[in-house]
Amino acid sequence: QQQVKQSPQSLIVQKGGISIINCAYENTAFDYFPWYQQFPGKGPALLIAIRPDVSEKKEGRFTISFNKSAKQFSLHIMDSQPGDSATYFCAASMTPWETSGSRLTFGEGTQLTVNP
């Protein structure tokens, strides 16, 4: 079964702290791992994504760390800000895109609260 497990379910961090959200997957055919950010009342939006040929990808304060042998990847938010308060979803997909339809399997979500 294609599953992606995400933890923690909720996370409270102080402003300026580091937020860390973890995901684990089972299907070794997954080769695209995005993180989506969702604000209340809105649809999810792509935040950052990684392919398994690299172990880390950084975009501003957001970093994905990827461990292929452990089948785990994580999102790190440095210098967390109240505006980062949202629900974060990890996801996974597989190529070839022609047959997979670029379908995403999502984790359960993490509700992040950054206190001022």
Partner 1 sequence: NAGVTQTPKFRILKIGQSMTLQCAQDMNHNYMYWYRQDPGMGLKLIYYSVGAGITDKGEVPNGYNVSRSTTEDFPLRLELAAPSQTSVYFCASSLGQRNSYEQYFGPGTRLTVT
Residues lying near partner 1 in the complex (CB under 8 A): 6, 9, 32, 34, 41-46, 49, 89, 93, 97, 101-109
Q: Which is nearer to partner 1, 44 or 80 (CB)?
A: 44
Shortest separation between residue 2's beta carbon and partner 1, angstroms: 9
Do 73 and 67 meet the contact criterion of CB atoms below 8 Å apart?
yes
What Å distances lie between residue 23 and 15, 19, 69, 82, 115, CA to CA?
Answer: 23, 14, 14, 23, 24
Q: Which is nearer to partner 1, 12 or 45 (CB)?
A: 45
**Cβ atoms within 10 Å, residue 45:** 10
Shortest separation between residue 66's beta carbon and partner 1, angstroms: 16
Q: Burial, 48: exposed, middle or buried (Cβ in 10 Å; 0-12, 13-18, 19+)?
A: middle
Shortest separation between residue 24's beta carbon and partner 1, angstroms: 14
Q: Which is nearer to partner 1, 59 or 97 (CB)?
A: 97
